[in-house]
Amino acid sequence: MTSLASNPARAAGASYPWLLIGMLWLVAFLNSADRSILIAVMPQLRQEFGLTATQLALLNSVFFWIYALTAFLAGRLGDSARRTRVIIYGLLFWSAATGMTSLSTSFAMLLAFRGLVAFGEAFYYPTATALISDWHRPAMRSRALSLHQTAVFAGAGLGAVAAGLLADWIGWHAPFLIFSVIGLIYAFFLFRWLKDAPIVHTAVEKDKPREPIGIVLRIKPALMLCAVFFLANGASTGVTVWAPTYIHDALGLDLAGSALWGSATINLAGFLSVPLGGLLADTLARRTPIGRFYTLAIGLTGAALLLLPLLSASTALTVGIVLLATSVGKGLFDGCIYASMHDVVPPGARATAVGMMTLCGFIGAGLTPIFVAMAAESFGMAAGMTSLAGLYVVAVLLLLATRGSTRAAVLANAHEVAER
C-alpha cells in the first residue's frame, strides 16, 4: 500500500472526508452492535441450550482470541489491497455470519458462528482507521478518528438494548437476523459511495520498498503503543466485564439495574469523552510533536486515579459515578490512540500497525477478566477491579519514559510524508 496524495479531497469534493466519517460511523456501529447481540440474549441461550456459565464465558473468550489473531492479518491486508474493499467484504462476511448464528441448534454451532463473526469483524478497524487517516490531514486527524470511535460505544449500548427488546418480543433469533439484513444491505450501498484516497509513493517507499510488518517492528514508539494498548485495553475490559456482575451480587440490583449502572455509564462516558480526547490531542499536537502522546498519558492518569474510589463505593449511584469518571479518562485515551500510532508509522504501514496493536489489546482484554475473577476470590471483586488501575499507571510510565524516541519518530515520519 502507498501513502496519501497531498490533497485527496480534491478528487472527491472537499466535503468527502467528513462524508466518509458518516458512512464508516454506521459500519463501526454495526461492528460493535453485532458482537453485543449475544451478550444481550445470553439468558435465553442459557435456557434453550442448557449452557453453563463456563460455556457462556467461552463464547465471549473465543471472540476475543479469534479477533486478536485475525486483526493482525487483516491489518497487513489493509496495507496491500484496496482498503474500501477490505472494509466492504468484511462487513458482508460478518453480517452473513451474524445471520447464520440464528440457525444454531447447539453450543458447538453457537461457538462456530461466534468465531466467524469475530473473524469478519477483525477486518474492519485496522483498515478503516488507515482509510480515515488517508483522507484527513494531520491537523484534524484525531478529531476525525475520535468521532468515528463514538460509534463503538453507541453500538455497544444501543445495539445491546435493541437486541434485548427484540429477543423479549419475538425470541433470540430475531436480532441476529435483523442486524444481519441491515449490514448486508448497507454493504451494497458502500460499493457505490466508499472511495479509496488518491495515493502516491513516498520517496522512501520508492527507493527502499519494505514489508509493512518490518517497518512497524523497526519503530520503537509503535511497539511501545502496542504495549500501552495491551495494558489500557486490558484494564478497561476487566472493569467492563465484571462491573454489572459486581453491582448485581454486591448491591442486590436486578439485571436491568445492574446493566444501567454497570454498563450504560461506561458507554455513555466513552461516547461523550472520546471526541474531547480527539480535540485535546489535535490542540496539543499543534504545540508539540508529541501532543497526542501527552493526551494518552493524561487520559490514563485520570482513568487510574478515578478508579480508586471504587473500593469505598457502597451504592449503585456511587459505583456508577466512579465507572463514569474513570471511563471519561479512558475515553480521552481512546480518542487519540489510533492517530498517535499514525503519527509514528508511515501511511503504507498504518493498517498493519493498528492490526498489531489490536492483537496486543485484545490479548490483554482476554486475560484481565480472568485475573479479576482470581483476585476476587481472595480480596473481593471491588479490590480486583480497582487493582487494574496499576496497569494504567504502568502504561503512563511507558509513555513518559519514551518521550525522546517518540518525538524523533513523529518528526521523521512527518518529514517523509511532507516530502512525497
**Which pLDDT score, from 0 to 100, does residue 168 have?**
82
* Exposure of 113 in the CB half-sphere (CA atoms within 13 A): 22
Cβ pair 130, 264 in contact under 8 A: no
pLDDT at 107: 93
The pLDDT of residue 415: 66
| Per-residue model confidence as pLDDT tens digits over 100-138 | 999 999 999 999 999 999 999 999 999 999 999 889 888
- 279 closest CA partner among 149, 409, 168: 149
* CB-count burial class (<10 Å; 0-12, 13-18, 19+) for 342: buried
Q: How many domains does the chain have?
A: 1
Among 403, 362, 368, 273, smallest CA distance to 74 is for 362
Predicted pLDDT at 60: 77
Q: What pLDDT shows up at residue 418?
A: 55
- φ/ψ of 409, rounded to 5, equals -65, -40
Instruction: Tell me the Cα Rg of the chain.
Output: 21
Q: 115-139 in b/e burial notation, b at 16+ Cβ within 10 A?
A: bbbbbbbbbbbbbbbbbbbbbbebe
Write the DSSP assignment of 185-216 as a string of letters.
HHHHHHHHH--PPPEE--HHHHHS---HHHHH
Cell, residue 147: 468521532
pLDDT in tens, 263-297: 778 888 998 999 999 999 999 999 999 999 999 99
Q: What is the pTM of this model?
A: 0.80
**Residue range of the domain that includes 30:** 3-418
Helix, strand, coil distribution of the chain in percent, nearest 5: 85, 0, 15
Q: What is the CATH number of the domain that holds 287?
A: 1.20.1250.20
Predicted pLDDT of residue 209: 53
How confident is the prediction along the chain (420 residues), in pLDDT tens digits per residue? 444 444 444 445 578 999 999 999 999 999 999 988 887 777 788 889 998 767 877 887 789 889 999 998 999 888 888 999 999 999 999 999 999 999 999 999 999 999 999 999 999 999 999 999 889 888 888 889 999 999 998 998 788 778 888 888 888 999 999 999 999 999 999 999 999 886 544 454 455 557 888 999 999 999 999 999 999 999 998 888 788 778 878 888 765 677 678 777 888 899 899 999 999 999 999 999 999 999 999 999 999 999 999 999 989 899 999 999 999 999 999 999 999 999 999 988 888 998 899 999 988 987 888 788 888 888 888 999 999 999 999 999 999 999 999 999 999 988 666 555
